[in-house]
Structure 1
Amino acid sequence: MKKSRVLSIAAAAVISTIALAGCSAGSGSDGGSGSGDAASCDASSGPVTLNFTTWVPNMDKVVALWNEENPDVQVKVSIVPNGNSGTYQNFFNQLKAGNAPDIGQVEYDTLPAFRVQDGLANIASCEGVSDAEADFSDGLWNQVTFGEDDSVYAIPQDSGPMALYYRKDLFEKAGLDVPTTWEQYAEDAVKIKEMGGSITNFAKGDVNQFAGLVSQAGGQWFDTSDGTWSVDMTDEASTKVADYWQDLISKDLVTTLPSFTDEWNNAYNTDQDWTWVSAVWGANTISSGAPDTSGKWAVAPMPQWEEGETASAAWGGSSNVVFKGSEHPAEASQFLVWLNTSTEALDALNKEANLYPASSTGAELPALTSGVEFYGDQAIYEEFATAAENIQPFTWGPTMTQTYSDISDGFGTAASGDGTLLEALESGQEKTIAALEAQSIAVK
């Protein structure tokens, strides 16, 4: 499976509230966020077999490298459908029954759903875990710690750093510089419309992309710093981003096509849509969906709210967790640090599964430092490596499927000219709080 398909699915896949309701919620002073006690990280005596469930293709070939070098700690891989295709529900059922695998793959925006059900082992005290932090950006590390001190609930695996894909040929022909600020981006939108095109497509169904834009602006929809969930989808940054895109929509400066459809692909395969603010996996999405434009695209940093800033964000990506109940958290953590930080494993993951690694070490892989023909031989992954270092922290909530759906409904209404994006966020906030309260999760 190519990267574009793996992460296009992964970016939108989150646990359903039905699955959450099927498990008993945590309780106590943490407001239902589960026990944060660190797992016992004493080494097991005798040979160990770890069960690892993932949907990364060819992961068994990567794990074979570990098994050959570590005869006393063997890893057994099960390759399954992606999380939202049943694997997350299976994980929750297994946790409830007490027979979950030692290790599982969980996307960043789904981690809180497992955390709130106390399904993740806190591996912070396991050997090598604290040292691994240096291999990841602050934003990615925040995804697996939830901003908690002395807690680590996963090791980042792959990442979705965002940047600006743009039609270099069209910008040059129009005499336009690549926009470095959102103000310049909006000014270019006006000029591009006058030439019969659109600067981009506003993806009314891709709320996770919008969340990335909010993250870049410094927004934060969820917080658990005082032990309870707080929800604020209309903070200053979120309002700024919503008002910005609402203005572009109201002035008909952007298209509003459903993402990843034939119509959407055609807009990028012609001269209609000139840019896409997207993640690293979008490189394959464009090349496969817009083949007639080969050699005409390039990649630049995301536009900034203030000239000279370098903030980026993430859209998509997964982590590896040690599930509560594993009898071998020490060995599982040791394996996960190897899998996600060693050059040997990262090189194999890239070659066998086309994964873009979350680790900064992975950015130095030969395949990610070479020019890409479709993008005029630009070494585009170097741009994403820089973006990965500047991903802004963002905490996901425990009911993201419903949150995405509720906001998406409002975005669709706003895109049709009835209502606004800000009103959609306000409604999404109210419904998210209600969903948390319905599950007896403390929220304010």
Structure 2
Amino acid sequence: MARGTGIPRRTGAVLAVTGLAMAVLAGCAVSPGAGVAADLSPEDVSSALQEGGDLLVWAWEPTLEHVVEDFEAEYPNVDVELANVGTGNDHYVVLQNAIRAGSGVPDVAQVEYYALPQFSIAGSLADLAPLGASELDGTYSPGTWGSVTDGDAVYGLPIDSGPMALFYNARTFKEAGVEVPATWDEFVEAARKIHAHDDGTHLIADDGNAGFATSMIWQAGGTPFAVDGTTVTVDLADKGSARFAQMWQQLLDDDLVAKVPEWSDEWFQRLGDGTIAALVTGAWMPANLESGAPGAAGDWRVAPMPQWTKGGTATAENGGSALSITEASTQKALAYGFLQYANAGDGVQVRLDHGNFPATTADLTSPEFLAREPEYFGGQKINEVLSASATGVLPGWQYLPYQVYANSKFPDTVGQAYTGSTPLSDGLGAWQESIVKYGNEQGFTVSGS
């Protein structure tokens, strides 16, 4: 069975409690539930599915409701309770509190790729390798598989991916006489031209979003976070960070960015009427545009992400998540059976049929998937663009082992650049200082470059 809370997809909530990632360092590692994953095998998974039992799954991804229905039909002895306890930081606050309390912890939790290290290093997530997850290497795109693995350990199965692309309103572009930008220099010029044509229209909206900024730095060739166990190096003045700061500063200085919060009513309204003319975001966006800005059907198109070098193909991930099994779960074998079905079995097609963007390589390249021509996007084969982006994700990116906390400090540091209080490069420097200070306070060895 499934139930939802109706909570919006993302919020700007700041973590109410901190230090989950430091639980191991502080000597309060999470106690494993009965059925330690290391003591289980793929055969135990098959047996558990036949014997049945109850599973509690915390996730906000909407297509999982359909997956649960089909899963329960195939395995009638299993009862899955699917609960949406929030999204983004709201979700992590509730999950973190349950883990700390040692009660009410779900068997399965949806965890975004950037947040996985924070939960895995705390010992809150089960290693799925003994259950057979290692054999799925090659099933998923390199970027998503790299996000759920740490050495030989596997801390989740990818549910979707967010290779980035440029979503743009073709009607607004045509009215302003703007060509689709292929480089970031062209992107800046397009922003100038669109705003000059109508000062109530902006090419892009950004009110200071840590996830967007880090993805842009990633695509620019940056690797500002280096993690080796509990040793962390932070360099938010590296090549990619500097590239992003210099380019985005031009847009901020000339009032070419609409400072409208993502997922707000105003944001969707302006996407609908074309006064926000483009988005640089993940491949999960189409379904959100269709539902949030239905009046713009036929106006939107998808193009490759602008490049720093003309003719390049570099991209990054923005968003995307995995399903993980909590260490506290007493139903690990059964939970892994659900993960297999949802993320590597029949559930993948169910999610695709309801608008999910895949992380599985077979689906990213399937003729049927690539040939889809959604009416909302004017009949364009948008999956050809989005799938190509998945192959261009730059390797080597790492998130901090306390990225959720770090992102909560972004508005107080980098966010000041969006009000004109400080240059973007200085804001990144202040963010680095807060990241280094917090990490060292929590027991990591953190240095800034």
Q: TM-score, normalised by structure 2?
A: 0.82
The CA deviation string for residues 366-399 of structure 1, in whole angstroms up to 9 with x for no partner, is 5774222222111223322222333334332243
- CA distance in 2 between counterparts of 1:7 and 1:315 reads 18
- CA distance in 2 between counterparts of 1:411 and 1:266 reads 26
The CA deviation string for residues 174-195 of structure 1, in whole angstroms up to 9 with x for no partner, is 5543211112222333333432
For 1:219, what is the secondary structure of its paired residue? coil
The CA deviation string for residues 213-261 of structure 1, in whole angstroms up to 9 with x for no partner, is 1111122232223542332222221111111100222133333333333
Q: What does residue 26 of structure 1 align with?
A: 24
- CA distance in 1 between counterparts of 2:245 and 2:361 reads 32
The CA deviation string for residues 322-365 of structure 1, in whole angstroms up to 9 with x for no partner, is 222445545543442332122x211222446x432322334449
| Shift in Å, 1:286 | 3.7
Matching of residue 308 in structure 1 with residue 311 in structure 2: yes
Matching of residue 248 in structure 1 with residue 251 in structure 2: yes
Contact 2:118 2:404 in 1 (8 A): no
Q: What does residue 135 of structure 1 align with?
A: 139
- CA distance in 2 between counterparts of 1:336 and 1:113 reads 21
Q: Decide which of 103, 106, 116 is 1:111's aligned counterpart.
A: 116
Q: What does residue 40 of structure 1 align with?
A: 39
Q: What does residue 373 of structure 2 align with?
A: 371
| Shift in Å, 1:154 | 0.8
Matching of residue 195 in structure 1 with residue 193 in structure 2: no
Q: What does residue 62 of structure 1 align with?
A: 67
RMSD: 3.5
Contact 2:52 2:75 in 1 (8 A): no
Contact 2:222 2:239 in 1 (8 A): yes
Q: How does 1:386-397 map to 2 (within 5 A)?
A: 386-393=388-395, 394-397=397-400
Matching of residue 428 in structure 1 with residue 420 in structure 2: no
Q: How does 1:279-294 map to 2 (within 5 A)?
A: 279-294=282-297
Q: What does residue 438 of structure 1 align with?
A: 441
Q: TM-score, normalised by structure 1?
A: 0.83
The CA deviation string for residues 241-299 of structure 1, in whole angstroms up to 9 with x for no partner, is 11110022213333333333344344434454332212234334444554444322211
Q: Which runs of 5+ in 1 are unaligned?
A: none
- CA distance in 2 between counterparts of 1:83 and 1:258 reads 16
The CA deviation string for residues 46-81 of structure 1, in whole angstroms up to 9 with x for no partner, is 735362412344635423434454578x36333232
Count of aligned pairs: 429
| Shift in Å, 1:164 | 0.5
| Shift in Å, 1:202 | 4.1
Supply the AA of the counterpart residue of 1:408: P
For 1:418, what is the secondary structure of its paired residue? coil
Judging changes above 3 Å, is the alpha-carbon distance between structure 1 residues 33 and 360 closer, same or farther for their aligned structure 2 residues? farther
Supply the AA of the counterpart residue of 2:139: D
Q: Decide which of 78, 96, 105 is 1:92's aligned counterpart.
A: 96
Judging changes above 3 Å, is the alpha-carbon distance between structure 1 residues 126 and 402 closer, same or farther for their aligned structure 2 residues? closer
Contact 2:148 2:158 in 1 (8 A): yes
- CA distance in 1 between counterparts of 2:333 and 2:257 reads 51
Q: How does 1:155-234 map to 2 (within 5 A)?
A: 155-196=157-198, 200-225=203-228, 227-234=230-237
Matching of residue 349 in structure 1 with residue 351 in structure 2: yes
- CA distance in 2 between counterparts of 1:251 and 1:290 reads 27
The CA deviation string for residues 144-173 of structure 1, in whole angstroms up to 9 with x for no partner, is 12xx32121111112222211122234345
For 2:256, what is the secondary structure of its paired residue? coil
Q: Which runs of 5+ in 2 are unaligned?
A: none
- CA distance in 1 between counterparts of 2:275 and 2:268 reads 10
Supply the AA of the counterpart residue of 1:136: Y
Q: How does 1:400-439 map to 2 (within 5 A)?
A: 400-439=403-442
Contact 2:107 2:326 in 1 (8 A): yes
Contact 2:108 2:324 in 1 (8 A): yes
Supply the AA of the counterpart residue of 2:146: N
For 1:220, what is the secondary structure of its paired residue? coil
For 2:322, what is the secondary structure of its paired residue? strand
| Shift in Å, 1:109 | 2.0
For 2:137, what is the secondary structure of its paired residue? helix
Contact 1:52 1:102 in 2 (8 A): yes
Q: Identity, % of aligned pairs?
A: 30
- CA distance in 1 between counterparts of 2:96 and 2:377 reads 42
